[in-house]
Amino acid sequence: MTTYVIDTNVLLRYLLRDDERQYQLAKPYFISKQHNLYLPIHVLCEAVWFIKHRLKVPRCAIAALLTDLVASDNVITEKNSFDQGIAFLQNGGDFADGVIADFVCHLEDAVLLTFDKNASKIADKFNITNELL
């Protein structure tokens, strides 16, 4: 079975349907179960940033949208990082900060070093070792 690695612009055209021609080109890949879709975590970070900052979509709506997308049997991503990113979004943080925090959880004696007070606060909530500068 072929696995298609999805670029951010393809993901955004499908999710946003802001360019009908490109949406129609992307749609078959997302609805077909004849192949797998790999959504790299950095593509999801970029897409979330665009949707949140450029389009002003609320965090909870972004979390629901991505959770539904990743729930498909043929969609593959870095699950632990994705889940941590969603948890940060749902708690008022940034998806990318959750992804970064996930790396701390998997490295021995790692500490998240940040200037971001909100990221530090959410990391504390999830018992992720961090140091606020």
How much is the pLDDT for 112?
A: 96
Q: What are phi and psi of 34, to 5 degrees?
A: -85, -5
> How is residue 78 annotated by DSSP?
-
pLDDT in tens, the chain (133 residues): 899 999 999 999 999 999 999 999 999 999 999 999 999 999 999 999 999 999 999 999 999 999 999 999 999 999 999 999 999 999 999 999 999 999 999 999 999 999 999 999 999 999 999 999 9
DSSP string, 25-40: HHHHHHH-SSSEEE--
Answer yes or no: are the C-beta atoms of 117 and 101 closer than 8 Å: no
> How is residue 100 annotated by DSSP?
H
Question: Where in the chain are the domains?
Answer: 1-77, 93-132
Q: What is the pTM of this model?
A: 0.92
